[in-house]
Amino acid sequence: MLNLLENLNPEQLAAVTLPDQSALILAGAGSGKTRVLTTRIAWLIQTGNVSPNGVLAVTFTNKAAKEMLTRISAMLPISTRGMWVGTFHGLCNRLLRAHYRDAGLPQLFQILDSQDQHAAVKRVLKALSVDEDRFPAREAQYFISAAKEEGKRARDVEIGDEITRRFAEIYAAYDEQCQREGAVDFAELLLRTFELLSRNEILREHYRGRFRHILVDEFQDTNRLQYRWLKLLAGPKNIMFAVGDDDQSIYRFRGAHVGNMAEFERDFRVENVIRLEQNYRSHGHILSAANALISHNRKRLGKNLWTSAGHGEPLRVYEAQSDGYEASWLTEEVQALKRAGLRLADIGVLYRSNAQSRVIEHSLFSAGMPYRVYGGLRFFERMEIKHALAYLRLVANPEDDGAFLRVANFPARGIGARSLEALQDAAKAGDASLYKAASGLSGKSGAAVAAFVRLVDALKAETQGLPLPETVEVMLEKSGLVAHYKAERDGADRVENLNELVNAAAAFMNEEEEHDLSAFLAHASLESGENQAAEGVDALQLMTVHSAKGLEFHAVFITGLEEGLFPHEQSVLEDDGLEEERRLMYVAITRARTRLYLSFAQTRMLHGQTRYNVASRFLDELPEEVVKRLTPRPGHARFDGVAWGPEPAKGHKAKTPSHGFRIGQSVLHPKFGQGVIVNSEGSGTDARLQINFGKQGMKWLALEYAKLTAA
DNA sequence: AATCCGTCTATTTTT
DNA sequence: TAGACGGATT
């Protein structure tokens, strides 16, 4: 037992061995949070405090859940089988499968991912003849999810105005449709479980009796419903162990409610707030920068990271003429790091928004530098995979209307929009599923529909009793999907993905206990398949700051540090938006172990227009003594690096000068400080310049009177 | 049924 | 700039 606790620092040890009462662990970046969480579980079990059956551990991502299980298994000699470790959604799925009847669901309810939900909402809008210009599916979808995440059903929505009333109607109709089709969206998994447990005392008491210890990871990311869910499950007696970092709360836009941390302290009478502040990841200067930056935020629980490692290198700040120059500087720097022996996979290139990756990719590509961009479509979200899954859904349940509509005419088999509309009308009139309605259809368009019904029946019959991977194979052939993509010009990748689906099914059988088709379909909805086919090549890692959370790199580039981009201009309008941007910057900085580059560009192409930006205020918030400028700065003659980097890969050039000053140039104004010339008008003594002073705003100044100096 | 073309829009994202 | 989407065209 002792060796479990070996090498823990005093705070970690205190957290791991806390007595039986609820606790909040404020775990700073790189402070060994996952280690504390997993060791705590192992310790609880090893000391006989609780059996594996009595442990429930909740995470946000499948990756984190998997990681946790692996680490616990490594620490304990016994099986972790009885333990429930999973995402909120995964655990809800498990509960609802076990108690589908009590939850009012069919046994084979299916899970809608965001795409499926979008399609389902569109069908509702059509059925209600809603004007989709006034009530776009996207907004309706957002409205529904937001309401559910507040724990509200359609009837609970407060009707403020006509628009809300309409959205509430759409919400009600959507829920009805889902219920009819046995479909459950992500938020519904949570809400349905919450309602199940609040109504059903026997079940509630059963699970409260079972899960003596409930542990939650990334607690700062919980939304209101998730918190109420936890509170309901924990009851008054169980012991909650919540781990989180308010400074890393960056998901407010999708409902995360940091206030849950303070509420948790009150609701669970937390006597022990333990702060993990010793950082095992980054060198001193990097942490100083992070601490200094985040201290500008007012709403904090308070925390200061420290390390026993040395100061390390200063942060390197690079100012580029344009986004193109920034990218080529970055490329050269990466080449140098690689020559110095660093693995590319240990270098992270971060940016605020996805659009920024393009220029960087272009430069890396020209240099033949391997890179991997995170984000974008994941395996189970690809169109061809969605089609294949729709066929599988029909095999599992032919009355799945969403799946029916998706593939009835894909590959094309002569069922046009007219036939489908007629079919939908017939289904509506008979209060039946499309499949049922199709079985009773006649006429010439009925022939094609009947053929499709026969195909579904045949698939079902032929795959009966087959193992999962074979079922997938048969479906791929019989449905005509593979043949269709083989015939397509650029279909090779898609065919490959379809074949990969067979592997995914085989892998699923190896990893999971349940092997039936509907379990696989649930898996496909809940696990987007990010880790599917991760290539073995050593490649530079490109991603948004958001997706970098939880990761670490030897060297990190934070690019595009410009006012308007990072902090993003939209965020300044939201209340608390700037603080969230700062937390985002804090997350970015704390990803770096030993080397951190910060870069910005005077000129950037955005939405097809050239923008002239001022350096991000976040750069000003870093202590000067930990920063080294790679480019000259006003008032500093000396500089310790290359002034202007290599030419960009393609002709990205700043505009030519008009008079003494050129557009894109940095200038200094006695009152407004530093700014960037954005536009000019007139000439000679009449000339006026438009200058972006960042925080001071945008100004038009007459060249004759304004005392401008080149910066 | 597939393709073309104009229009629109443009943080951040896991489940 | 570039992608997504809807409507019209072939």
Residue A410 has pLDDT above 50, yes or no: yes
Task: Please tell me whether any atom of strand B lies within 7 Å of the Cβ of A410.
Answer: no
**A681 vs A366, which has greater pLDDT?**
A366
User: The tokens of A336 are what?
Assistant: 């140098």
With beta carbons less than 8 A apart as the criterion, state whether A218 and A433 touch.
Answer: no
The nucleotide closest to A608 (CA, C1' atoms): C1
Identity at A545, one-letter amino acid code: V
Q: Tell me the mean pLDDT in the region A528-535.
A: 60
Is residue A673 pLDDT above 60, yes or no? yes
Q: Which pTM value belongs to this model?
A: 0.87
Does strand B come within 7 Å of the CB of A63?
Answer: yes
Q: Residue A419's pLDDT is what?
A: 82
Q: Which residues contact A138 (CB under 8 A, 6 or more apart)?
A: A118
Q: Which one, of A105, A85, A88, lies nearest residue A96 by Cα?
A: A105
Query: What does DSSP assign to residue A313?
Result: S
**Half-sphere exposure of residue A661: CA atoms within 13 angstroms, side-chain side:** 31
Please write the tens of the pLDDT for every residue from A280-316.
999 999 999 999 999 999 989 999 999 999 999 999 9
pLDDT at A38 over 90: yes
pLDDT for position A1:
53
Query: Residue A385 pLDDT more than 70?
Result: yes
Q: Return positions of chain B under 7 A from a protein CB.
A: 1-2, 10-15
Q: Which residue is it, tokens 């349905």? A: A192
Residue A683 scores a pLDDT above 80: no
CA distances from A318 to A597, A633, A639, A644 (A): 8, 10, 11, 9
Distance in angstroms (rounded) separating the CA atoms of residues A44 and A308: 29
Q: What share of chain A is helix, strand, coil (3-state, %, to 5)?
A: 50, 15, 35
Helices and strands (H and E) in chain A: how many: 28, 21
Residue A668's pLDDT band (cuts 50, 70, 90): confident
A412 touches strand B (CB under 7 A): yes
Which of the 110-149 residues on chain A come under 7 Å of nucleic strand B at their beta carbon?
113-114
Give the pLDDT of residue A528. Answer: 77
| Nearest-nucleotide field for A526 (CA, C1') | B15
Provide mean pLDDT across the span A403-411. 90
Q: Which residues pair with A541 in a beta bridge?
A: A348, A372
* pLDDT value, residue A680: 64
Cα of A295 vs its chain's centroid, Å: 26
CB-based contacts of A427, cutoff 8 Å, min separation 6: A401, A433, A434, A436, A437
* pLDDT score at A657: 40
The reply to whether omega before A370 is within 30° of 0 (cis) is no
Distance A608 CA to C2 C1' (A): 9
CA of A256 to C1' of B12 (A): 13
Quote the CA–CA distance of A672 and A315 in Å, as a whole number: 27
Amino acid at A403: A
Residue A418: nearest nucleotide (C-alpha to C1'): B1
- The pLDDT tens digits for A445-456 are 578 888 899 999
pLDDT in tens, A46-89: 998 899 999 999 999 999 999 999 999 999 888 888 899 999 99
Q: How confident is the model at residue A444 (pLDDT cuts 50, 70, 90)?
A: low
Q: Grade residue A654 by pLDDT with cuts at 50, 70 and 90.
A: very low
Which pLDDT does position A187 carry in this prediction?
A: 95
The CA–C1' separation of A404 and B2, in angstroms, is 22
Q: Is the CB of A335 under 7 A from strand B?
A: no
List residues of A with catalytic annotation: 33-34, 217-218, 248, 591
Straight-line distance from CA A606 to C1' C2, in Å? 11
Rounded, the Å distance between the CA of A409 and C1' of C10 is 21
A186 touches strand B (CB under 7 A): yes
pLDDT at residue A690, as a whole number: 72
Q: Strands A23-27, A698-702: parallel, antiparallel or unpaired by DSSP?
A: unpaired
- Detail the protein residues whose CB sits closer than 7 A to any atom belonging to strand C: A 358, 605, 607-608
- Asked if the model's pLDDT at residue A21 lies above 60, the reply is yes
CA of A313 to C1' of C6 (A): 54
What's chain A's average pLDDT?
88
| pLDDT above 50 (res A411) | yes
Nucleotide with minimal C1' distance from the CA of A377 is B13
Determine the distance from the C-alpha atom of residue A555 to the mean position of all C-alpha atoms in its chain, rounded to a whole number.
22
Is there a contact between A47 and A1 (Cβ–Cβ < 8 Å)?
yes
Residue A652: pLDDT over 70: no
Longest distance between any two alpha carbons in chain A, whole Å = 87
What is the pLDDT averaged over residues A588-595? 97
CA angle A676, A678, A681 (to 5 degrees): 125
The Cα–Cα gap between A589 and A350 comes to 10
Distance A692 CA to B9 C1' (A): 25
Instruction: Judge contact between A690 and A700, C-beta under 8 A.
Output: yes
At residue A476, the pLDDT reads 94
Buried residues in A261-290 as b, exposed as e (16+ CB within 10 A)? beebbeebebeeebbbbbbebbbbbbbbbb
Bases of chain C below 7 A from a protein C-beta are 1-2
Q: Which nucleotide is nearest to A132 (CA to C1')?
A: C6
Q: At residue A35, does pLDDT exceed 90? A: yes
- Give, for A183, the enclosing helix (H) or strand (E): strand A183-185
Rounded CA separation A473/A496 (Å):
13
**Region A188-208 average pLDDT:** 97
Q: Where are the alpha helices (DSSP H) in A236-355?
A: 259-267, 284-294, 323-339
What does the pLDDT look like over A606-646, one tens digit per residue?
988 899 999 999 999 999 999 999 986 544 333 333 344 55
Cα–Cα dist A678/A700, whole Å = 10
Taking only the tens place, the pLDDT of each residue in A312-332 is: 999 999 999 999 999 999 999
Residue type, A131: D
**Residues A69, A555: Cα–Cα separation, whole Å:** 29
CB A272 within 8 A of CB A21: yes
Report d(CA A692, CA A674) in Å as an integer. 9
Task: Name the residue type at position A329.
Answer: W
Q: Which nucleotide is nearest to A353 (CA to C1')?
A: B11
Distance, in Å, from the CA atom of A275 to the CA atom of A15, rounded to the nearest integer, reads 9
Does the CB of A379 fall within 7 Å of any strand B atom? no
| Residue A258: closest CA among A219, A200, A205, A206 | A219
